Amino acid sequence: MKPQYKEIEEKMKKTSAALAREFSQIRAGVANAAVLDKISVDYYGAVTPVNQMASISNPEARILVIQPYDMSILKEIEKAIQASDLGINPQNDGKVIRLVFPPLTEERRKEIVKSIHKTGEEAKVALRNIRRDALEKFKADKKKGEITEDDLKSAEKDIQDGTDQYVKEIDALVSEKEKEILSV
């Protein structure tokens, strides 16, 4: 049963990591280079992420500066940022692109916090689905006679403990991101 536990734990860990990655891309009124992770540009026939074709710096709390390694791609990066759902208008001076993040309004903060809570709940549902699938597999093994009743009870307890641990981790991620949004 240990290999099955490892597989279940791995799935739950991936769910938590995916949530953390998604939260890193939510902008909180401060400049964060992770918001550019989803933006790609067609670079000589290959779709390339902006962070692989340019140096991204953060000279001030609310400003990101993008300096491409190849200046001929500057316009394409600017167009990709404008076409994205980032909601920020890039400023191109011919050498670098500046992204100035406006301070968040109270209303926008509340919307972002609601979105964070919704995403956290979706992650918890994913954890519960992993738990359900694992328990169904163990119950099927019990029916086939591959494991005993005691093994099944032990597996149910262990899987529930793992689920509880990752639910707490997700709650902590949600709480941390909420504090970040509301404190900025």
In degrees and rounded to multiples of 5, residue 171 shows phi and psi of -60, -40
Q: How many Cβ atoms from other residues are within 10 Å of residue 139's Cβ?
A: 14
| Residue entry with tokens 């909420």 | 178
Any idea which residue has 């990101």 for tokens?
64
Whether residue 124 sits in one domain with residue 68: no
Residues 83 and 56 in one domain: yes
Report the alpha-carbon distance of residue 135 to residue 112 in Å, rounded: 35
Same domain, yes or no: 62 and 153: no
* pLDDT for 172: 94
DSSP state of 35: G
- 156 is in which domain, residue-wise? 2-25+105-183
- Tell me which residue of 112, 109, 75, 118 sits closest to 94, measured CA to CA: 75
Give the count of beta carbons closer than 10 Å to the beta carbon of residue 71.
11
Tally of structural domains, the chain: 2
| pLDDT tens track for 120-168 | 999 999 999 999 999 999 999 889 888 888 888 998 999 999 999 999 9
**Ranges in the chain, pLDDT < 50:** none
